[in-house]
A and B are shown apart, each in its own frame.
Chain A
């Protein structure tokens, strides 16, 4: 495990990272750095490699070649026992929510803390209730995911991603299956997470959404990085 240089503000470092599945290249020679507490978009058409990039970041897949460091942890040679340690530093939000259907909203969110080894029920309850309040689901704590709307599910997923106070939040097409109002609410929550100090990385193919944020955008196409444009707002949420 490599420790981050305290003077080095880069929380994510990718150097010539590639990923292939058999003969097919999903990502090719990707190199970029992300500063701590940055807010950025990864964009590109379907099949550009956005979701694969997210998977590499939380070690859902291992890279085929290259070098990557996430919050001081070297992904290149990471032992599988280290993976949970990495994942506790990252909150992940998916397009299809990935909530556990038979657990209510409270339990879905609390599971993160239980998995991280929190023993105090009081502490878990307090943090989960705070988060549910923040995402506007306090009155839905006992509801089960199948009874929620798409927007509510995604807000529950955001609460789950934030409850462990992660250093990084990865959102893979978080608004793709939501109506504009619900999408707006989810984005505001991601901005709230950013305001609390998290580095937020969002993948989307929605240009209209990106245009509303004057922030850094990395563009992928066919698995290659074709652009990396810094925003004028310096990574701030609107």
Chain B
């Protein structure tokens, strides 16, 4: 094993120009894919943040007492899809309306009595996702005898999810295309390295080396290249992230949302994927060389 590492390291130094070229290619490829991943992760988080603002308002019938309203709120809060329920009385609702319309309170001056019914403001669980899930919860609430009407911005929500799903699908297709393109570039760069060493591999085989003796150091080298290239690509992305973040973080383009770098899970996945691409490129080429 140590001998294999030693030979792989020696080859790294010996073929430094080709390895350098391959390293740069992998770094750039990883930089592009990771930048895409960074965008996706943050766009997804931004969507989730918007989604958390969705509330379902259940307007209660006029003959429902405050006691009954609180009992219903407690009951609804037991549902797994519901995070919390708050009771808003008609008076509180009117007060809130006055605050919202600001200087135009004259519009409400002629009201002889408060027309607003008591309501329950339902905050769905964070895990609840998709317009259908919101529809189902709203339908269940509306089915209650105490509830006169339910409002949750159904049309807006459906449009929002339509755009969100389209975005996600487009992003997934684009990411897949970019990854495939990069796999080809990476694999072909590794092929170049091996082609330049075709004679050496041939000689090693003629003198009696078995396939493992030839293959394993090459696999190791290609995976090392994939790993080092990925580390450099991610480091480059992090540097870019640090320089761009002040412009888009709170106080910048996005006042509330905090832009984040890729999680450790993502970084690990990218490192593994890069090593895998290196190995695949090497495997295909070595397989061709070892045929007789």
B184 to chain A, nearest CB (A): 28
Cβ-based interface call for B288 (8 A): no
A59 with B292: CB separation less than 8 A: yes
Cβ-based interface call for A171 (8 A): no
Separation of A112 and B207 alpha carbons in the complex (Å):
6
B203 with A112: CB separation less than 8 A: no
Among B68-76, B94-102, B209-217, B258-266, the one that faces the other chain is B209-217
B208 with A164: CB separation less than 8 A: yes
Give every chain A residue within 8 A of B205 (Cβ-Cβ). 84, 87
Minimum CB distance partner of A99 in chain B: B203
B204 with A115: CB separation less than 8 A: yes
How many positions in chain B have a CB within 8 Å of any CB in the partner chain?
16
Separation of A80 and B206 alpha carbons in the complex (Å):
13
B206 with A60: CB separation less than 8 A: yes
B210 with A58: CB separation less than 8 A: no
Which residues of A77-112 have CB atoms within 8 Å of chain B's CB atoms? 80-81, 83-84, 87-88, 90, 92, 98-100, 102, 111-112
Cβ-based interface call for A155 (8 A): no
- Tell me the dominant secondary structure on chain B's binding face: helix
* A100-B200, A112-B207 as given contacts; A83 in contact with B292, CB under 8 Å: yes
B153 to chain A, nearest CB (A): 68
B149 to chain A, nearest CB (A): 77
* A81-B211, A84-B210 as given contacts; A111 in contact with B204, CB under 8 Å: yes
**Which listed residue, B3, B203, B210, B290, touches A100 by the CB 8 Å rule?**
B203
Separation of A32 and B284 alpha carbons in the complex (Å):
39
Interface string of A41-68 (1 = CB under 8 A from B): 0000000000000000011111000000
Interface string of A100-137 (1 = CB under 8 A from B): 10100000000110111000000000000000000000
* A81-B211, A102-B14 as given contacts; A87 in contact with B292, CB under 8 Å: no
A230 to chain B, nearest CB (A): 30
Cβ-based interface call for A160 (8 A): yes
Separation of A9 and B208 alpha carbons in the complex (Å):
24
Which residues of B191-239 have CB atoms within 8 Å of chain A's CB atoms? 199-200, 203-211, 213
Give every chain B residue within 8 A of A59 (Cβ-Cβ). 292
A87 with B200: CB separation less than 8 A: no
A87 with B211: CB separation less than 8 A: no
B213 with A115: CB separation less than 8 A: yes
B200 with A115: CB separation less than 8 A: no
Give every chain B residue within 8 A of A116 (Cβ-Cβ). 208
B66 to chain A, nearest CB (A): 84
Give every chain B residue within 8 A of A88 (Cβ-Cβ). 208
Minimum CB distance partner of A89 in chain B: B208
* A60-B206, A87-B206, A92-B206 as given contacts; A114 in contact with B292, CB under 8 Å: no
What 5 A-B pairs come out closest when comparing CB atoms? A115-B209, A88-B208, A84-B210, A87-B208, A112-B207
**Which residues of A are in contact with B by a Cβ distance under 8 Å?**
58-62, 80-81, 83-84, 87-88, 90, 92, 98-100, 102, 111-112, 114-116, 160, 164
**15 A-B pairs with C-beta separation under 8 A:** A62-B292, A81-B211, A84-B208, A84-B211, A92-B207, A98-B199, A98-B206, A99-B203, A100-B204, A111-B204, A111-B207, A112-B207, A115-B207, A115-B208, A115-B210
**Which residues of B are in contact with A by a Cβ distance under 8 Å?**
3, 14, 199-200, 203-211, 213, 290, 292
